[in-house]
Amino acid sequence: MTLFETVLTPYKNMKQFFLLIIIFILLLSYSVFGNRETIAITPTRVFRQTSRPKIISRKKWKAKEPIGKAQKHTIGYITIHHTATLQNEKITIEKKMQNLQNFSQNESLLASGKAKPAWFDVPYHYYIGVDGKIAEGREIKFVGDTNTEYDPTGHALIVLEGNFQTEQPSSRQQKSLQKIVAWLAFNRKVSASKIKAHNDYAATACPGENLKKLLPALRQKIGEINRASEKR
């Protein structure tokens, strides 16, 4: 070995030594911080996405007592509707709920000419106004009502204000819909595949094409949340 090689050899070994140290530090950092992110951030995000959204209670919108009797059920589905009336930001959601309850609890003729009996209460369990506010309708432990030919037993019924054959759900409505569906799906153990539209069960235009086309993305999001929650 020449004098030149003898002098340089320690430096070569030191380079290799420092390179190994750097690699070790990088691997250790990935292990520590990677695991901390999985444990600390993901469950927090899941908790936030499945938390109960702000809901205006029946008491808050001054609901009247139900009339007659209703059947109790266990939720296994989440079904989306629209009111089929034009969105109106000038009327408060409290007043809208009172109007809906008055209509629901009285006999009437529908636009189709079909007679509607007096129902127990508001037919839907949750109402989402154009402003994104959510109101409690019929108590969720009771089966909802429908003018169409399907059995809503086991269905959590959510209605959005608007006629979505001609209108678009507002961005606030879309956000509120995801929040309440995520909360219901998580707490009632409803799979994403069982989040559907009214017209998946009955011959009706409800909930309108402009709302129904948003449901595949909603199901995908709820599926991701459900899978993440199972890993907590």
pLDDT of 109 reads: 81
Please write the tens of the pLDDT for every residue from 167-186. Answer: 999 999 999 999 999 999 99
Assess whether 116 and 77 both reside in one domain: yes
Give me the number of domains the chain comprises.
2
Q: Could you give the percent of the chain with pLDDT greater than 90?
A: 71
pLDDT of 20 reads: 54
Q: d(Cα 202, Cα 188) in Å, to the nearest integer? A: 23
- Number of Cα atoms under 13 Å in the Cβ half of residue 51: 9
Please write the tens of the pLDDT for every residue from 37-76. Answer: 332 334 556 667 889 999 999 999 999 999 999 999 999 9
Chosen domain end from 34, 49, 64? 49
Asked if residue 146 has pLDDT above 60, the reply is yes
Q: Which residue segment(s) compose the domain that 22 sits in?
A: 1-49
Assess whether 61 and 45 both reside in one domain: no
Decide: helix, strand or coil at residue 197: strand
Assess whether 14 and 66 both reside in one domain: no
Assess whether 90 and 197 both reside in one domain: yes
Assess whether 103 and 26 both reside in one domain: no
Assess whether 9 and 79 both reside in one domain: no
pTM above 0.95, yes or no: no
